[in-house]
Amino acid sequence: RAAAAASPLLPARLFDAIAAVAASRAADFNEQELSNLARAFATAGHEAPELLDAIARAARQRLSEFTPQGLATVSWAFAKSAHLAWRGAVPPASAQGGRAQGGDAPSAGPPPLRAALCAELLVEGRAAALNPAELAITLWAFATAGHTGGEPYRCLGEALMPRLFPPRGLEGQAISNAAWALATARHENPRLFSALAQAAAANIDRLGALDLSNLAWAFAWSSQVPVAEHPAFYSRLGPASLVRLSDFDGGSLSNLAWALAVASPSPDVLDAVAAAALSERLAEVHGSTALNVGQLCQVHQYHLWLEERGDVAEALPEALREQARDSFLGMAQLAPSSRMQRLVARELRAVGGVRSVEEEVVVAQGYTVDLLVQHADFGPLAVEVDGPHHFTSEGAPSGATRLKRRQLRALGWTVLSVPHSEWARRPEPARAEWLRQLLASAAPGPPAPPPAPPAACGAASEASALRAVAAAFAQVDGYGVARDAKRRQRESGVYLEGIQYGEVDPSAFAKALGWVSPADGERFVDLGSGTGKAVLTAAALHRFSCATGVELLEPLHAAAQRARAALPPEALRAAEVRLLCGDAFKHPWAEEGGVVFCTLTCLTDEAIAALERGCERLPRGARLIVTTRELKCHCLRLLRREKLPYGKGSLLFLAYERV
């Protein structure tokens, strides 16, 4: 270690001599000596592959003897040395690459040392024993190697969460290291990213230019730090970056610009003065050092963002704009098509009404549209065939994917997505029909309703319908049924997350339905319909072609069927009422729903993420009514929010339109 500290003064042959002797005796060293030796050579930047091979062999046999600090040190040293014992044969994504893939390339699996260290961290108590800085550097080491999979990111993230804040919380570069690592690995954990954003906001004055850039990139790439939920971070990011603007090099500056473009088109993220300063600095850096192709691609998307905002005065110099656009076009033309894309194109050509399907079409703004579909009734349509690298580990679109969709739509394109998960889970015979429905969702929606529509069935008829619904539920004790069902679950050892019963007030729900003005012939779907009160209220008030409720718990489903049987047929205006027992999120609700209702109050984060992903599949013009919390979908426009009576109290209701 002393030699490493004095390395600029020592000849390389001394390191070579130490490496030769130490390699032959590595098996005799204890865990601290092994970790110190690896750290010394990594710190000195001296290549010693045979020594590191020997350390790797010795260490992986005795990892259980290593202290928490020793585990973190070995991880860091091998990652820093870029040795194959850690990285394997797959080159990882760069921390400075705004298009980092986070380990997308196929691999035969992690090399033995990394696999062994991952297994060691999963031993109960091992990850939790690392201090915050050690947790961050270990996350960085695994992500730098392009390590894929949920572990060790899950266990390290869980250990990090309660120790992000003072006293002895993460500080400075460690915050950006952790955020960059989790984003590069495509790890999805909104609560952890939210906590990192809070820690970053509290430490932002102590962060350097590279830290700010990596944080902004990580939050943008992961799409798990929405601007609306984290104003403290985003409101301070611009001013903090301006103070250090001269410290940003080409890579960190283009990363920052790209991240701002992903975050939001709102001026709240970066005001006009800051945007002008950032554009000026980009031109200055490019003039002195020249940005590489990847950085120029980021600059092009930043320029499209300025146009999206209408910031003409803050635009980049013409020469830089043209070079950035040319680089973006060049990269687009190099993009290969996938087997899945060719299969989707083949199926689309067989769909009725489709006149032509072109593959890999480069549009004027430089983006490549996977499939350009010309349809007899509407179009053209940009169909994106989204493979695994377009999503986080749990299936949410990455920041790059969201940005492309948003910018294409801002440029006037109708964008449809064919996610790999949706394609793979459907048998081949069902894919053509699913694509037909997907294209149909792009058809123009129903005309906008007048500003103050009358009640769907008149005031007197509405009152009569609501009385009929109340009478049908007179003998249904939903809370009692739910309480008994939960007791039986617990007695049998079953614990279902996100299951909590609540009842809509029919009169209040009628008001919420009025916000979205259901049209005759539309379909209604209730996700988690309980005893069916919302479904039957909707069916009694509006001429839906079908009103569907999907409930997971059989006792509640049975109660809904009893209420349905008690409701006279003449009280229903819907053509059909369906009450189904099953997992609501496995039902094709997005493909069916013109009006969708879902109570979010007790849903898990995973269930809400699934709902938000499903919203991407809703046809334009469809409406969604939820409770309690806002959804963070770029494809939804908030129509109204208001507290309404619900169950034994009140609840916030929100109505959205798919745009």
The CA-based diameter of the chain, rounded to the nearest angstrom, is 96
Q: Which two tokens stand for residue 321?
A: 């704009």
pLDDT band at 636 (very low <50, low <70, confident <90, very high): very high
pLDDT number for residue 372 = 94
CA angle 642, 644, 647 (to 5 degrees): 145
| Model confidence band, residue 495 (pLDDT cutoffs 50, 70, 90) | very low
In single-letter form, the type of residue at position 563 comes to: A
Mean pLDDT, residues 386-407 taken together: 87
Distance of alpha carbon 386 from alpha carbon 424, whole angstroms:
12
Between the CA of residue 154 and those of 159, 353, 385, what are the distances in Å?
9, 47, 29
652: tokens are 């916030």
Per-residue pLDDT at 144 exceeds 60: yes
Q: For position 129, what pLDDT does the model report?
A: 94
CA distances from 420 to 293, 340, 346, 432 (A): 28, 8, 16, 15
Confidence of residue 605 (pLDDT cuts 50, 70, 90): confident
| Structure tokens, 72 | 């973190």
Cβ within 8 Å of residue 308, ≥6 positions away: 265, 407, 410
Question: What pLDDT shows up at residue 643?
Answer: 85
Identify the burial level of 3 via C-beta atoms within 10 angstroms of its C-beta, where 0-12 means exposed, 13-18 middle and 19 or more buried: middle
Distance, in Å, from the CA atom of 512 to the CA atom of 641, rounded to the nearest integer, reads: 9
Residue located via tokens 């590279």: 210
Q: Is the pLDDT of residue 502 over 70?
A: no
> Which of 29-33, 194-198, 560-564, 628-632 shows the lowest mean pLDDT across its residues?
628-632
Tokens standing for residue 267: 């001026």
Per cent of the chain over pLDDT 90 is 45
Mean pLDDT of all residues in 354-367: 87
Of the CA atoms within 13 Å of residue 245, those in its CB half-sphere come to: 17
Average pLDDT of span 39-68 = 91
**Average pLDDT value for the chain:** 84
CATH 3.30.1180.10 fits 335-440, yes or no: no
Q: Which range, of 114-123, 164-173, 522-531, 544-553, averages the lowest pLDDT?
A: 164-173
pLDDT for 598 equals 93
Contact between residue 626 and residue 644 where contact means Cβ atoms under 8 Å apart:
no
- pTM score above 0.75: no
Strand partners, 625: 597, 655
* CB-based contacts of 509-513 (< 8 A; 24+ apart in sequence): 509/533, 509/534, 509/537, 509/538, 509/644, 510/462, 510/466, 510/537, 510/541, 511/644, 512/625, 512/644, 512/653, 512/655, 513/456, 513/537, 513/538, 513/541, 513/542, 513/595, 513/625
Report pLDDT for 301.
94
Q: Compute the distance between CA of residue 52 and CA of residue 406 in angstroms, rounded to an integer.
A: 47
**Can you give the pLDDT at residue 97?**
35
Q: Which fold has domain 459-658?
A: Rossmann fold (3.40.50)
pLDDT at 227 over 90: no
Q: Which residues lie across from 526 on neighbouring strands?
A: 549, 597
Question: In 3D, which of 259, 254, 266 has the Cα closest to residue 290?
Answer: 254
CA atoms within a 13 Å half-sphere pointing along the CA-CB vector of 314: 24
Write the pLDDT tens digit of every residue in 301-351.
Answer: 999 998 888 765 567 888 899 999 999 988 877 767 789 999 999 999 999
Q: Is residue 533 within 8 Å of 503, Cβ to Cβ?
A: yes
pLDDT at 35 over 90: yes
Decide if 335-440 and 459-658 have a common fold.
no
DSSP element (H, E) containing 358 = strand 354-362
CB 120 within 8 A of CB 63: yes
List pLDDT tens digits, range 398-449.
999 999 999 998 888 899 999 998 898 888 889 999 999 999 888 765 544 4
Is residue 268 very low, low, confident or very high in pLDDT (cuts 50, 70, 90)? low
Confidence at residue 444, expressed as pLDDT on a 0 to 100 scale:
65
| 654: three-class secondary structure by DSSP | strand
Token digits for 93?
Answer: 């994504």
* Helix axes of 31-44 and 68-81: crossing angle, nearest 10 degrees: 30
Reported confidence tier of residue 569, pLDDT bands at 50, 70, 90: confident
The answer, yes or no, to whether residue 480 has pLDDT greater than 80, is no
- The pLDDT, as a whole number, for residue 455 is 39
**Angstrom distance (rounded) from CA 65 to CA 73:** 14
Q: Where are the domains of the chain?
A: 335-440, 459-658
